[in-house]
A and B are shown apart, each in its own frame.
Chain A
Amino acid sequence: MDEQSHYEKWHQAFEASTLRKGPFTTMSGVPLEPVYGPKDGEFPGEFPYTRGVHAAMYRSRLWTMRMFAGFGTAIDTNTRFKEIIRSGGTGLSTAFDMPTLLGLDSDDPMSLGEVGRCGVAIDSLADMRDLFADIDLGAITTSMTINSPAAVMLALFVAQAEESGVSRDRLGGTLQNDILKEYQAQKEFVFPPRQSMRLVRDTMAFTAASMPKWNSISVSGYHIREAGSTAAEELAFTLANGFAYVELAQEAGLAVDAVAPRLSFFFNAHIDFFEEIAKYRAARRIWAKWMRGHYGAKDERSWQLRFHTQTAGVSLTAQQPEINIARTAIEALAGVLGGTQSLHTNSLDEALALPSEKAARIALRTQQIIAHETNVVNVADPLGGSWFVEELTDEMERQAEELFAEIAAMGDGSMLEGCIKGIEENWFQGRIADSAYQLERSFNQGERTVVAVNDFVEGNDDDDLTILRITNEDELKQRRRLDQVRRDRNDEEVRGALERLRTDAIDPEINLMPALINAAKAYVTVGEMMSAMASVFGRHVEVPSL
């Protein structure tokens, strides 16, 4: 058989794709090709996927408009979820409150003032049931943004779904479960790094074996960038973490092709339009090359980097908050032109509070304008071939490769060891803090402009925005709910489930997921499960550094 040209291969894949209903023309009727470029050049859907992971990209299917939501009690958030689905949102994404993210119950003394504030409070199976009440978990994909207690939350989710009649193999969604970036950037850690990695391993093995539609980890650069890194650092640290998880799975005897297709990624869309697009293009290319080259992946799904994008919270201003709509629209467009698979757009009021319902709706509408009015969805990788964007893509890749070399050197050739050492030695944390400081100084010295902050401040005194208020009422309500759960459950079952969890935790060869699901079904609380594991694993304390 003759070697097919790039164009022919692409054309075949494109013809095999189901397409949306057009019209695939400009507004004035000019017919549009699905992609442009020389016939011997790279095409979307083709290794190394610089131009996108699918041959037809958004002509086949738009990105998932996945709006992140969560506040107050599970009942409050369930109402918001249903509102999102009614408004045309196509995926759910759960934001948890600080106590839940740190594996503490709502009645823990450290939880005071934090319950339901920046996400929903989940203490037990009872809350998980209310969170997804009347939502068909077999029909919509659900993302859960949680890391230290990720395995616990997965256990609760599986328990809840099975209780409502949806078997675990039908569940589609994503667990963030990216613990490395917690130590590097987001700082919601509980156990020491190596013990945490055991839980990550257990969730990877469990989902690989019994949840074929589930993404076990969302390897996240978002928080690294929000913590202050540059675009290249976000790119490099995120992919290095991704490599580390692949090595972790390999060490545990899982084949690269059993886990890599279930890794997804999560990047920031910051305000520097072209740099962001170049970053996404470089990310796909680097991942494909490393998966095939370094890790020997044979399945092309292992090579394809799929990612979620969120616009940059840090780019929003509390001053003249309405102008954040414009920032978010520009950032979201970068994510779309960069070929994202799903997108969250921030609300205009997020420099002040959690989004009000109206602000969240405007943010979703922003995506719908990009998707349905602008026509940017008809041509894949429309900036491919731009001298500027191609050069910037190469530069992102070069900078990332330099950082990979440094990380690998810390681990004597192992990315897994390099990432853990880099955390233990504050290398990542220090680099991110340095970059954050450099950027802040450039704003303070007026070298860079932030509209309504260090220039164009007329109008800053207008302050008539209605923001979402979370009252202490919610905290009291949640404590009462938890109290009720503790009263209603079978204490003997609880003791037995906790004992099994501790025993299993002691033996590093045992997968903890079955013990966690067992505990979830016995109404053991998140805090109790985490404490039981902490009694074996210990707790991580970060050495403060400036």
Chain B
Amino acid sequence: MSVRVLVAKVGLDGHDRGIKVVARLLRDAGMEVIYTGLFQTPETVAIAAIQEDVDVVGLSLLSGAHLTLAPLVVRALRERGSDIPVVVGGIVPNNDLADLEAAGVAAVFGPGAGADHIVATINSLVAPSL
């Protein structure tokens, strides 16, 4: 069975180039990708992820709100009893990596992260449960 990924834009950030490109690259790697569309809340993302029974949630954040919004998505999932790993891509300064990790974000893909690296990381997050 192929890996299922929900890619999501949460908050007000309309930059959708990255999420669309990454979604296609994940599909090229054989994954099933579902895209939420723009302007989601942490709750709508969590509900969609659980309903769609995905293996990984990928958030794309380029507006600087990652430290606020990514932890809220993790919390919304955990509050609903889900342990789906959350990964973040976008403009994330190195100084923020520790905070995101502490908030339960499984991986961060900064600017310039290559397709192979993203695919391998997602596969490694999913592998234990397969």
Q: List residues of A whose CB falls within 8 A of some B CB.
A: 98-99, 101-102, 104, 110-114, 117-118, 182, 186-188, 226-228, 314, 317-319, 351-354, 432-433, 436-437, 440-441, 444, 450, 452-454, 463, 467, 470, 472, 541-546
Q: What sequence of 0s and 1s flags, for each residue 61-75 of chain B, a beta carbon within 8 Å of any chain A beta carbon? A: 001110111000000
> Is there an interface contact between B68 and A113, defined as CB atoms closer than 8 Å?
yes
- Which listed segment binds A: B33-41, B80-88, B99-107, B121-129? B33-41
> Is there an interface contact between B38 and A353, defined as CB atoms closer than 8 Å?
no
**In the complex, chain B residues whose CB is within 8 Å of the CB of A542:** 37-38
| Chain A: minimal CB distance from B96 (Å) | 10
Decide if B116 is an interface residue (CB 8 Å cutoff): yes
A118–B14 Cα distance when bound, in Å, is 12
Instruction: Give the most central of A113, A188, A314, A317: most B CB within 10 Å.
Output: A113
> Is there an interface contact between B112 and A319, defined as CB atoms closer than 8 Å?
yes
B61 nearest CB neighbor, chain A only: A113
> Is there an interface contact between B16 and A453, defined as CB atoms closer than 8 Å?
no
**In the complex, chain B residues whose CB is within 8 Å of the CB of A354:** 64
**In the complex, chain B residues whose CB is within 8 Å of the CB of A110:** 11-12, 39, 41
> Is there an interface contact between B69 and A450, defined as CB atoms closer than 8 Å?
no
**In the complex, chain A residues whose CB is within 8 Å of the CB of B13:** 98, 114
Decide if B111 is an interface residue (CB 8 Å cutoff): yes
Per DSSP, chain B at the interface is loop
> Is there an interface contact between A187 and B38, defined as CB atoms closer than 8 Å?
yes
- Please tell me which one of the listed residues A104, A113, A228 contacts residue B17 in the complex, with CB atoms under 8 A apart: A228
> Is there an interface contact between B21 and A228, defined as CB atoms closer than 8 Å?
yes
Q: A110-B41, A544-B36, A544-B37 are in contact. Are A436 and B21 (CB under 8 A)?
A: yes
Q: A453-B112, A544-B36, A546-B33 are in contact. Are A117 and B63 (CB under 8 A)?
A: yes
Decide if B78 is an interface residue (CB 8 Å cutoff): no
A507–B24 Cα distance when bound, in Å, is 44
Q: A228-B21, A444-B114, A444-B115 are in contact. Are A463 and B94 (CB under 8 A)?
A: yes
Q: A117-B64, A437-B20, A437-B24 are in contact. Are A352 and B91 (CB under 8 A)?
A: yes
Decide if B23 is an interface residue (CB 8 Å cutoff): yes
**In the complex, chain B residues whose CB is within 8 Å of the CB of A319:** 111-112
**In the complex, chain B residues whose CB is within 8 Å of the CB of A186:** 14
A354–B38 Cα distance when bound, in Å, is 22
A472–B33 Cα distance when bound, in Å, is 33
A192–B68 Cα distance when bound, in Å, is 29
* 11 A-B residue pairings within 8 Å (CB atoms): A98-B65, A110-B11, A113-B67, A118-B64, A226-B17, A352-B111, A353-B64, A354-B64, A433-B20, A440-B115, A444-B114
**In the complex, chain A residues whose CB is within 8 Å of the CB of B23:** 546
A454 nearest CB neighbor, chain B only: B114
Decide if B25 is an interface residue (CB 8 Å cutoff): yes
> Is there an interface contact between B25 and A440, defined as CB atoms closer than 8 Å?
yes
**In the complex, chain A residues whose CB is within 8 Å of the CB of B64:** 114, 117-118, 353-354, 470
